[in-house]
Amino acid sequence: MRIIKFAVAFCVLTGLANSAFARDLSKNERDLCTWGAGIAGTAQQYKLSGLTLYGARKKLQARHFPQQWMRMSALGIAEQTYDSPSRLRPESVRQVYYEGCTRHELARR
């Protein structure tokens, strides 16, 4: 329990520190991170509700994605989410994913 509180506090503080850096990203980069964060949060919600990875993959396969690469990326994000031992709430997973994605995009520059 103590570790989870520490992890959530770390994420919030990191988010506040990194929110200033996120402004340097283009709209497309922010949209990409927001999309991935949404997929990660949804996968975490499925995981916490007891849905198997197979069931989550079936639900994601049934979704319509505007671009071809999004389907395989969504399945990969879901698999990584299920492989994680994390029991964080889906909102926290979305935030952590978004922050990590924006850091990655900034580091690529």
Q: Where are the domains of the chain?
A: 2-108
The structure's pTM equals 0.77
What is the block-wise mean pLDDT of the chain (109 residues), using blocks of 10 residues? 48 53 82 98 98 98 96 98 96 98 93
The reported pLDDT for the residue numbered 23 is: 63
The reported pLDDT for the residue numbered 17 is: 54
Residues 21, 109: contact at Cβ < 8 Å? no
The reported pLDDT for the residue numbered 24 is: 86
Read off the tokens for 107. 């580091």
Say which amino acid occupies 73.
Answer: S
- For residue 13, count other CB atoms closer than 10 A to its CB: 10
d(CA 6, CA 51) in angstroms, rounded, equals 27
d(CA 76, CA 65) in angstroms, rounded, equals 14
